[in-house]
Amino acid sequence: EVQLQASGGGLVQAGGSLRLSCAASGFTFDDYAIGWFRQVPGKEREGISCISNNDGRTYYANSVKGRFTISSDNAKNTVYLQMNMLKPEDTAVYYCAADLKCQDGLLWGYWGQGTLVTVSS
């Protein structure tokens, strides 16, 4: 059974940091891409970062570039999203998803449940 579990969200002040984790199981982790997405109520879910585990390529949305870093620990089947210099506009529910390749859009094969990040001003 394919499972993705996002965790690590919480409350942080603007300028602070959080590290989100996406623990994967039920598939060959090394052959998949893991993406991070976020959603604010009333707004469309947006992709913010992705890592391709087969070649290590990474991608970032302009809104988080330079502040967030995605990484993968194959031994733990876990992808991390290190979020630094957080802003109130980063407040959202963060989701991770898996598919064969990093890609635009929301039609990813597998999704985890979200973890809430709240950034206070």
pLDDT at 30: 86
Q: Report the pLDDT averaged over residues 64-68.
A: 98
- Whether 22 and 78 have beta carbons less than 8 Å apart is answered as yes
- pLDDT of res. 53: 86
- Quick: pLDDT tens for 42-56: 999 999 999 998 889
Q: What is the pLDDT of residue 29?
A: 85
pLDDT at 1 over 90: no
- Per residue in 91-117, pLDDT (tens digit) is 999 999 999 999 999 999 999 999 999
Task: Please list, in sequence order, all residues whose beta carbon lies within 8 angstroms of the beta carbon of residue 47, skipping any fewer than 6 positions away.
Answer: 35, 36, 37, 61, 104, 105, 106
